[in-house]
Amino acid sequence: MRGSKEVHHGANSPLYDEEKRWKTTPLGVKILLIYISVLALFYLVFGLTIPTNVFFGFLFTGISAKIMNFTVLIILGFLVFGLMLKKHWAGKLAIIWFGLEIINLLTSMALGKTLLEDGTLVSLIMIFVVGINAFILWYLIAKREYFIDLRHHHTSGVDKIFVIGIFLMMFFAITATTTYGFNVYHDTIKITDKVIIELEEMDFEEAQMICSYKQGKEKDVCYMIIASAYDDATSSICDKIEYKFYKLTCIQAVII
C-alpha cells in the first residue's frame, strides 16, 4: 500500500501534472496562450469602449456590439483558462472558435465587399487575420493529441514550425498594415486639412451640401468630419461613405 501511494505521487501522476502544468506546456501552446491573451485584452480595451463588431457581413454598434464583444471576451477567457490548465475541452473549443472566426471573416469580406481592392485598411487587416487564424487552426488539429493526454509533452517539430510561422506572419502583418496605415493616415491628414478650411463656420446643412458635391476619399473624409464636428450628425451620415475604414471611424465618432 505504501509503495503504491508513492507511485501515485510520482512524475506521471495527475498531481505532478497539476503542479507542473506551465513547465510541461509546449512552446507552441504558450505562444498561442499569449496571442489569445493579447486578443482578449484588445476586446477588453476597445471592444467595450468603442463598441463595433462585424458578424457574418453585418455591422453592429452600440449596446448590441458591446454584448457581442463581451461574449467574445468570455469565450477567450475560457480558452486561456482551459489551455493553461490543460483541460480536455480546451482544444475542441479552440478549434471550433478559430474555425468559426475564419468563416465569419470570409463571409463578412464577401457580403460586405471588404476586399483588398476596396482600398481599405480594414480589408488588409481582415485578410491577415484569416491567414493567422488558419495557421492556428492547422496547429490545433496537428497538436490535438496534446489535449487528450495531460502528461508531459516536449516541444515537437510541429511547435517549432508554428512558432516560427506565427512570428513571421505577425511580422509581415504588422509591417504591411503599418505601412498601408501610414499612407492612409498621410492622405487623410492632407484631405482633412483642406476640408476643414472649406467647412469652417458653416452650419450642418451647408456642410452636408459641400460634402455631397465631392467624390472619392474627399467625400468620405468630408462626411467623417461632419460626424465628428456637428452634434446634429447621426449614423445615417456614415451610410454615405464608401470606404470601410472611414465608415467605421465615422460610426465610432457618432456613437461616442
Is the pLDDT at 211 greater than 60, yes or no? yes
Is the pLDDT at 248 greater than 80, yes or no? no
Contact 101, 133 (CB under 8 A): yes
Contact 24, 17 (CB under 8 A): yes
> What pLDDT digit, counting tens, does each position of 99-141 carry?
999 998 888 777 764 444 444 566 777 788 899 999 999 998 8
pLDDT reported for residue 7: 39
Using the Cα atoms of residue 208, residue 213, residue 219 and residue 221 in order, give the sign of their dihedral.
Answer: negative
pLDDT reported for residue 151: 57
Q: Which residue has the cell 478559430?
A: 98
Q: What is the DSSP letter of 44?
A: I
d(CA 51, CA 46): 7
d(CA 112, CA 248): 13
pLDDT band at 91 (very low <50, low <70, confident <90, very high): confident
Helix axes 204-212, 157-199, angle to 10 degrees: 110
Which comes out higher in pLDDT, residue 48 or 230? 230
pLDDT band at 153 (very low <50, low <70, confident <90, very high): low
Nearest to 191 by CA among 222, 148, 154: 222
pLDDT reported for residue 246: 79
Where is mean pLDDT largest: 73-77, 90-94, 126-130, 143-147?
73-77
pLDDT reported for residue 110: 77
Bridge partners (DSSP) listed for residue 55: 58
pLDDT band at 150 (very low <50, low <70, confident <90, very high): low
> What pLDDT digit, counting tens, does each position of 20-61 carry?
666 777 888 889 999 999 989 988 887 777 777 778 777 777
Is the pLDDT at 256 greater than 70, yes or no? no
